[in-house]
């Protein structure tokens, strides 16, 4: 049981660290801790798989691992929602419809207008 406790505790600690980094909006810390969480999860899964093949995993630890997996999924979902929200805000500020049409201004800074009624060069 002790061989499973340590990797599981590392996962739980990284989850707490990731939650803190997200609340503080610290992008560098989020990136670093997410990488550490990934490594901790991989190590925990390896330990649990080995234990399952050689005697089983105590229900309490299995439950804690399932809870950690749920927390990872919840944080992933929260990040996906935040990303979608940011994408929508960017779309409002910089609509893609403008880039799909003719540009509003030409390279010389003059307005590009399709006018058939007398312009400067008509």
Q: Over its length of 122 residues, how does the chain's per-residue pLDDT go in tens digits?
A: 678 999 999 999 999 999 999 889 898 999 999 999 999 999 999 999 999 998 888 999 999 999 999 999 998 898 888 888 888 888 888 877 555 555 555 555 555 555 445 444 54
Contact assessment for residue 1 and residue 58, using Cβ atoms and an 8 Å cutoff: yes
What's the N-to-C CA distance of the chain in angstroms? 86
Contact assessment for residue 46 and residue 65, using Cβ atoms and an 8 Å cutoff: no
Helix (H, G, I), strand (E, B) or coil at 7: helix
Give the number of residues written for the chain: 122
φ and ψ of 98, to 5 deg: -65, -40
Q: How far apart are CA 17 and CA 11, in angstroms?
A: 10
Q: How far apart are CA 17 and CA 23, in angstroms?
A: 10
pLDDT at res. 81: 87
- Which residues are CB-neighbours of 105 under 8 A, at least 6 positions away? 111, 112
């Amino acid at each position: 049981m002790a061989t499973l406790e340590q990797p599981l505790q590392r996962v739980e600690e990284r989850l707490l660290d990731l939650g803190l980094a997200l609340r503080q909006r610290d992008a560098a810390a989020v990136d670093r801790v997410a990488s550490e969480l990934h490594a901790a999860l991989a190590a925990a899964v390896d330990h649990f798989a080995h234990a399952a093949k050689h005697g089983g995993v105590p229900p309490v630890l299995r439950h804690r691992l399932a809870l950690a997996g749920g927390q990872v999924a919840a944080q992933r979902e929260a990040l996906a929602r935040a990303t979608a929200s940011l994408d929508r805000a960017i779309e409002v500020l910089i609509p893609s419809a403008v880039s799909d049409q003719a540009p509003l201004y030409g390279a010389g800074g003059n307005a590009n207008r399709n006018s058939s009624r007398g312009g400067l060069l008509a």
